[in-house]
Amino acid sequence: MSNITRNFIATGFLFLAAGVTFGTLLTINSIREMLVSSAHGIFLAHSHINIFGFIFMVIFGVNYHYIPIFSNRPMYSEKWANYHLWLTIVGVIGMAIGLALLNRAGIVLFAILEAAGAYLFMFNIIKTFTQKSQIDKKPLKDKRYIESDKIAVKFTRASTPYLILGATLTIFLSLLPDGYIRFRPVIYHTYFLGWIAMMVFGVGYHILPRFADNKVYSLFLMRLNLKLANIGIAGFVFSWLLSLFFGSVFFSSLRHPFGILTASALFIFVYNIWRSVFKKK
């Protein structure tokens, strides 16, 4: 494990410890009343620490480990990855404070720092995928996984634009009066469905069958999973965004069919992984 991966994961667990401690304090009535009276957005801050501080940092760390393996290339720049680490740390802490105080200027400023970290991550990943292959990948050249790994890489590549979309939406929507609060469900779904879920699909298809020493059960279902997820998640996020922005009933109604496609992709992933892991050799 590289130092950059270790640093991201360690930082993520420090944020987890802070978030859990914070959440425990919020269960004590006297402390919760005192915090809410002085910081009306305290629960938003708590969620942000757990989601953006813990979950995102761990996923970044895992990506810095697995993407070079997926692409059969070394990480393009550890220096840029370190910049990403510190921008995200400062961004998460500042954003939590801004949300707790419901300070719009603070939310916008630290959302920009978080977004800058995401842009650096995207830049590093693109350069990693496009540079000349230099890693000897013989230990992973098991014929059972060649085709499934190619599709797994497509999931990983498809996930990163959603990270950039979520970060960019956070900046621009925070400029609107109560914009972050109003559009927060769309921003969170962009991150969770678009970035995290697609990343989990790719990493899951790569490592879970290997744990069971089996190949992926169905490449057809894997490709179907990719298509339904791409169409469903993009349609769901943008129809919801447009329905809130324009107050449109038509765009709001489009969320349902796209939501069904997204749910179908999730069920296909679970079924395919289940059959891959638990099938008899």
**Mean pLDDT estimate for the chain:** 88
Distance between CA atoms of residues 214 and 23, nearest Å? 41
Q: What residue ranges do the domains of the chain occupy? A: 1-141, 142-281
DSSP reduced 3-state for 101: helix
Predicted pLDDT of residue 229:
95
Instruction: Name, of 10-24, 33-47, 60-74, the range with top average pLDDT.
Output: 10-24
Residue 122 has pLDDT above 50, yes or no: yes
Nearest-CA neighbor of 269 among 145, 162, 141, 151?
A: 151
pLDDT for residue 125 is more than 90: no
Q: Which two tokens stand for residue 68?
A: 């070079």
Which tens digits make up the pLDDT trace of 126-147?
Answer: 888 787 766 555 545 567 888 8
- Tens digits of residue pLDDT in 56-103: 999 999 888 888 877 778 888 889 999 999 999 999 999 999 999 989
Which residues have C-beta within 8 Å of that of residue 225, sequence separation ≥ 6? 201, 265, 268, 269, 272
